[in-house]
Amino acid sequence: MTRGNSTVRAAGIVTVVVAALLGSAYALGRSLVPDQVPGHSTGATTNADGPHYADQPGGGEPGGTPSAGSGPAETGQDGTGQDAGGDNLFGAHATSGSRRLALTFDDGPDPRYTPQVLATLREFDVRATFCVVGENAQNHPDLIQAIVDEGHTLCNHSWQHDVGLGARSADAIRSDLLRTNEAIRTAVPNAPIVWYRQPGGAWTYPVVTMARQLGMTPLHWSVDPSDWELPGASKITATVLTQAAPGSVVLLHDAGGNRQGTVDALRRILPDLTARFELEALPTDPT
């Protein structure tokens, strides 16, 4: 019996040692495997609220991802496609082309925020321009229809908010813009789409050229309250009301993240803007 007990104890010790070694080997192997395989990023992430776009307006070099914390010049457009800060817009429009002020809303439509924006614009009898993302247009065709039904203008904002789109091949740019237009026209078959806004304002000659070849005018902006950084309704309001001028194109967002601050700011902005300016949806015949 003593010899048998010794054998059992020895076997148990061996089992424990083997299990410990296997556990150590597994842990070591896991530590050597990356948590996420790197891949091409479009700047979009998803959660319960829908797509969130990480790459928002910035002042990087054309064709690249804009550098964090820097924005494009907001004033000083000289009408040549070159702003006072020296950023080349390759001919993209940064003003409305008249003394009227244009409100623009990017990254939608979004089922939480776009209806609130539409309701507020309706209350003040204001028309605006919505630069929509293709995947969101595909997912929410009813909101595309609502935008058109209420007299607002549509603008192509790429399929998935690809800030680097302008650095891709002509075929890739063309495919992205056409796919977005198709999603919009699936919702509203005869919708005019005569404007294109490059995500992040990362304009390049190829993306401007392709947009024009497809019958769309490149659209930039002149007032940017950086609402995508979630500064709060008060700061958004102050920036817009301070910088707004005849011909301004105001950049706001109705999707791509938590936009309640923008919605709240809009209710504060519109009484002042409508008292000082004539507001317009950008025309569907910009030529």
Q: What is the pLDDT of residues 174-201, one digit of tens each?
A: 999 999 999 999 999 999 999 999 999 9
User: Is residue 44 in a domain?
Assistant: no
106 and 192 inside one domain: yes
**Mean pLDDT across 120-132:** 98
**Mean pLDDT across 34-38:** 31
CA 55 centroid distance within chain: 7
> Could you tell me the CA-to-CA distances from 116 to 20, 110, 226 in Å, in that order?
59, 10, 19
Residue 196: CATH number of its domain: 3.20.20.370
**Which pLDDT value is given to residue 32?**
35
Query: Residue 258, Cβ neighbours under 10 Å: how many?
Result: 14
**Mean pLDDT across 85-105:** 88
Residue spans of alpha helices (H) in the chain = 2-31, 114-123, 134-139, 141-149, 170-187, 205-213, 233-243, 260-276
> With helix as H, strand as E and coil as C, how does 187-208 read?
HCCCCCEEEECCHHHCCCHHHH
User: Is residue 111 in a domain?
Assistant: yes
1 and 74 inside one domain: no
The mean pLDDT value of the chain amounts to 80
User: Is residue 74 in a domain?
Assistant: yes
**Mean pLDDT across 86-110:** 92
19 and 67 inside one domain: no
**Mean pLDDT across 24-39:** 36
Question: What is the tally of structural domains in the chain?
Answer: 2
Q: Which residue out of 55, 83, 87, 106 is catalytically annotated? A: 106
136 and 202 inside one domain: yes
**Two structure tokens written together for 159:** 């399929």
21 and 114 inside one domain: no
Among 111-120, 265-274, 277-286, the range scoring the smallest mean pLDDT is 277-286
Q: Which residue has the tokens 């293709």?
A: 134
Three-class secondary structure of residue 235 per DSSP? helix
User: Is residue 90 in a domain?
Assistant: yes
User: Is 224 considered catalytic here?
Assistant: no
Residue 36: band (very low, low, confident or very high) from pLDDT cuts 50, 70, 90: very low
- CA dist., res. 265 & res. 56, Å (int): 19
- CA dist., res. 257 & res. 236, Å (int): 15
- CA dist., res. 32 & res. 38, Å (int): 15
Taking 50 as the threshold, does the pLDDT of residue 18 lie above it?
A: no
- CA dist., res. 6 & res. 81, Å (int): 89
25 and 133 inside one domain: no
267 and 154 inside one domain: yes
Taking 80 as the threshold, does the pLDDT of residue 70 lie above it?
A: no
Residue 105: strand pairing partners: 130, 252
Give the domain extent around 158.
56-276
110 and 243 inside one domain: yes
Residue 49: band (very low, low, confident or very high) from pLDDT cuts 50, 70, 90: low
20 and 73 inside one domain: no
User: Is residue 149 in a domain?
Assistant: yes
User: Is residue 38 in a domain?
Assistant: no
Q: Which residue out of 140, 157, 220, 253 is catalytically annotated? A: 253
**Two structure tokens written together for 90:** 């390759």
Among 16-30, 36-50, 68-82, the range scoring the smallest mean pLDDT is 68-82
8 and 76 inside one domain: no
268 and 231 inside one domain: yes
**Which pLDDT value is given to residue 56?**
55
Taking 70 as the threshold, does the pLDDT of residue 214 lie above it?
A: yes
Q: How many CA atoms lie within 13 A of 120 on its CB side?
A: 21
- Is the Cα torsion angle 95, 99, 103, 104 positive or negative in sign? negative
Q: Check: CB of residue 241 under 8 Å from CB of residue 269.
A: yes
User: Is 106 considered catalytic here?
Assistant: yes
Taking 60 as the threshold, does the pLDDT of residue 50 lie above it?
A: yes
Residue 165: band (very low, low, confident or very high) from pLDDT cuts 50, 70, 90: very high
Taking 60 as the threshold, does the pLDDT of residue 16 lie above it?
A: no
User: Is residue 5 in a domain?
Assistant: yes
**Which pLDDT value is given to residue 57?**
55
